[in-house]
Structure 1
Amino acid sequence: MVNNGLGFNVATSEYLTRAMHYFNSKYQNVKFVISSLDVPWTKANMPNNTHLIYTSYPKREIVVATLALCNHTITTVGSFGWWIGWLTGGEVTYFKWPAKEGTFLRTQYSKDYSDFFYPGWIGT
């Protein structure tokens, strides 16, 4: 979603670090499976002190099936991550402020985004 022009806020590297720390502190031998349309940005913004696996499947269906088999999910912004979080069924973290203020996209959500994020998900 970098330079998307739609009004999305890009999840920060600080958010990714907090979310990864959350799972690393709670579980043992954590491996993060990452899917991104912008792998160079992702590699530049992910913490280097953990086990990262990048997917590079050409079809979305394969990516969805692969990520849905994971135990938990760190979402960034957009509907793709939301659906992966829903399908995974484990713990899900989300970036609390996915839309830029003053954009049309922001008007599509409630004030606190409670209409978009599942109540059991963890906003960081």
Structure 2
Amino acid sequence: MYERKIPLSLHCGLDLTGEVLYGKWKMRLLWFINEGYKRPSELQRKIPDASRRVLHIQLKELEGHELISKIIYPQVPPKVEYSLTEFGKTLIPVIAVLGKWGDDNEERLRCLILKRSEPL
């Protein structure tokens, strides 16, 4: 069973938000589900750098935080679709603002990130 190495810190809104959204692909998953990509295979195509396993884990965590809901259709082969909950929809404007900030500062951020990744 998974054991956290760093204890939970839930003392303020930033801690709570971070606990829910930390994960490399979570914000992108929420954004793509909001845009209408609902099937796991569609999400995998939209985020090809992520492994199926990691996407599955992060989708499950988003579901556990009640940001998305999962519908399993009883057919062969099984069909699964994800959708945003009303609670999850409240995050879309926040993600949009973060994305706009990244777009507005793209060149500067890219240079800073690449500079940090260079060997010393």
TM range (shorter): under 0.3
TM-score after normalising by structure 1: 0.25
Larger radius of gyration: 2
Please identify which structure carries the higher helix content: 2
TM-score after normalising by structure 2: 0.26
Higher relative contact order structure (alpha carbons within 8 Å, sequence separation ≥ 6): 1
